[in-house]
Structures are given as C-alpha cells and as structure tokens.
Amino acid sequence: MQDRDSPPSLDDLDARLKKARGSEEDRVRRSEMLSPNLPGSAMGLAFRVGIELVAGVAVGVGIGYALDRWLGTGPWLMIVFFFLGAAGGMMNVFRAATGQGLAVGYRKPGDDAEQKRRGGSEREG
C-alpha cells in the first residue's frame, strides 16, 4: 500500500520529461521548418517578395488616385503611377531576391573588398 501512495522518484520524472521533449536537435529542426520569420527561410523571403510587390503597386495607385482627385485629370495619373509603382515593386523584389536589400545602401557588406579584388571601380548613381 505504501508504494501506491508514494510519489514517483525524480529520476523517473526526469526520464519522462526528456522523452516528452525529444532531443534538442529535433526541436531546433522543427522550429526552423515552422518559423516563417527567420531571416534565411524561404517562406520569409516569399512573404517579403509578395508584400514588396503589392505595396509598390498599392502606393503607386494611391498616389495616382489622390493626384487625379486633386487635379481633376481623370484616370491618367493613376495609370501612370500604377506603372511606376509596379516598376518600383519589381525593383524591390529583385533587391530582396538577390540579397541587395540587406545592408545600408543596398549593398552586401563584403562587396567593397570583392570590387577591389576585381580591380574595377563602379560609379554609384
């Protein structure tokens, strides 16, 4: 009767906790697969690309619509700014896909050393 009333040992509890948690490597691997907000994950890049494109078009259309309402020019400025916003969105998608949008000035940190190694100098516009 005493075995039934006594609490389980701490070693038994520790073994059951380790079994329930699984190995540390499995947890890290699962969190990497399920987390879309990691900087290097493919899902994070896909969300960023989609948002960059939609935001560029939306801002362009919004500016064009506001200018059309203000100046009374009909849909012409909205059409012009739609294409400008789409072009800006595509440029941002290109920067995100190639990794150029990661550092200040849209350049990777090691680009200066590689540029000097090649022996060329590129003027920035």
Q: Using one digit for the tens of pLDDT, what is the confidence trace for 17-50?
A: 777 777 666 666 666 555 545 555 777 778 888 8
Mean pLDDT throughout 73-80? 90
| Cα gap 24→32, rounded to integer Å | 12
Residue bearing tokens 């890290």: 28
Whether the CA torsion 89, 121, 103, 40 is positive or negative: it is: positive
Structure confidence at residue 83 (pLDDT):
95
Write the pLDDT tens digit of every residue in 85-121.
999 999 988 888 777 766 555 555 555 555 666 665 5
Q: 60 or 124: which carries more pLDDT confidence?
A: 60
60, 85 Cβ separation under 8 angstroms:
yes
92, 86 Cβ separation under 8 angstroms:
no
51, 99 Cβ separation under 8 angstroms:
no
What single letter denotes the amino acid at residue 99? G
Structure confidence at residue 30 (pLDDT):
63
